[in-house]
Amino acid sequence: MMSEAERRRLRAMMGRFATGVAVVAARHGPLLAGMTANAIASISIDPPLMMASISGSSETHEAVVGSHSFAVSILAAQQRDLAECFAQPTTAVKLQRFCDAAWHEAETGSPVLDSAIAYFDCRLTARHPGGDHTIFVGEIVAAGYEEDAEPLLWYGSQYRRLADEPSL
């Protein structure tokens, strides 16, 4: 078992990998749940598969298991407030209000954030244990994106934005 100091150090080292910021969400009956995530990845183009790693103790985990689906909404640079809200521990208000985010359904019934720069609506095909998380694999059944949108990034435990490339 790792000490708290070792966990902090490992988290700091992993934080040196820049990632995009997304909200993974699912709906199971009346439960509408979502969480900020950067542990997502494209797995395959043919068939189109995506993975999301979700804490086993979260309501989002419960909703994915119950609905057999999930949606990944990639956040734009101006959506930091949504990233911060969905990153908070779940409260009754967060569950009832879904961070006041405008959303729609695509194919599976999972919530897709309206202002996302890209989304992937996935039907669950597999799940694998991953420590205190479950690695969910889903087949992408619907997707879309905005052509000229700027992403929200995460690096070194901070939200970041892309910098313009310097002129040569």
pLDDT tens for 58-95 read: 999 999 999 999 999 999 999 999 999 999 887 666 66
All residues at 6 or more sequence positions from 123 whose CB lies less than 8 Å from its CB, including other chains: 68, 69, 107, 108, 138, 139, 141
Hey, is 134 helix, strand or coil?
strand
pLDDT digits 0-9 by tens, 127-138: 999 999 999 999
Question: For the domain that residue 97 is a member of, what is the CATH number?
Answer: 2.30.110.10
The tokens describing 17, both together, are 């990998």
Please give the angle made by the CA atoms of 21, 117 and 79, to the nearest 5 degrees. 55
Count Cα atoms within 13 angstroms, Cβ side, for 104.
10
* 98: confidence class by pLDDT, cuts 50, 70, 90: confident
What is the total count of domains within the chain?
A: 1
Distance of CA 101 to the CA centre of its chain: 14
Residue 83 falls inside a structural domain: yes
Hey, is 19 helix, strand or coil?
strand
Residue 4 falls inside a structural domain: no
Residue 60 falls inside a structural domain: yes
- pTM, whole model, 2 decimals? 0.89
The pLDDT, as a whole number, for residue 45 is 95
Q: What is the CA radius of gyration of the chain?
A: 16
Strand partners, 60: none
Residue 135 falls inside a structural domain: yes
Residue 82 falls inside a structural domain: yes
Residue 2 falls inside a structural domain: no
Angstrom distance (rounded) from CA 97 to CA 91: 10
Residue 7 falls inside a structural domain: no
* 42: confidence class by pLDDT, cuts 50, 70, 90: very high
Residue 168 falls inside a structural domain: no
Q: Containing domain of residue 125, as a range?
A: 20-154
